Amino acid sequence: MSDALIVGATGMVGQAVLTHSREPLTVLARREIPDLPPRHRLIVAPPEQWADVIAAEKPSTLISCLGTTIRQAGSQPAFRAVDHDLVLAAAEGARRGGATHVISVSSVGATAKAGNFYLRTKGEVEEALRALGFERIDFLRPGLLTGNRQGPPRLGEGLAIVAAPLTNALLHGGLRRYRSIPGETVAKAAVALAAQGGSGVHIHENDAIRALAD
């Protein structure tokens, strides 16, 4: 995993990946990251240069924890620019540099056929990543992420987190995949997957993510 590269390291999941990865990572970000563990190496570059930077770094594995919300981004096009376009640009750069494995944090319910814009965008980027020809792809599809998040509080999300224990208790069987999950658990699963070999496209939802993190 010493030649893995991560994008999206400033978010909840990405920060936890930096904490839990005992192996050094190359971290690509648009700004400096305070308190970055010294075992990791930071590259600061504007997003429009990320594809070329990643290709030049030649990582074997790309970990994408990129993600925002429509509210944070300010509009649907701005949201898509991050959650679709930037994710895909990073993956294209990694593939150009010879990467064989990509791990992408997506969302439960992601499908290109979704009526919901958020889930449709997540599904479309999954389809685009499949088409790039990686030997192995791991899609992590968590439900509501719980944990400490930087930035302004999100009212609706905050209320959902408060209600999560009750909501989780009501979700059984096939609905278990919609249960909330700590961002730290998702990060631990990403770290575990980065150390795995093999091939194919693998989708990990709530129970599978928790099993990987154990």
Q: Where are the alpha helices (DSSP H) in the chain?
A: 12-20, 50-57, 70-73, 76-80, 87-96, 117-130, 155-170, 183-194, 206-213
Contact 92, 50 (CB under 8 A): no
Give the torsion through C-alpha atoms of 127, 132, 135, 141, to 10 deg: -30
pLDDT tens digits, one per residue of 69-122: 888 899 999 999 999 999 999 999 999 999 999 999 999 999 999 999 999 999
62: which 2 tokens?
Answer: 């790309």
* Single pTM value for the model: 0.90
Looking at every residue in the chain, the average pLDDT score rounds to 91
Fold type of domain 4-213: Rossmann fold (3.40.50)
Domain ranges of the chain: 4-213
Look at residue 163 in the predicted model and tell me its pLDDT. Answer: 53
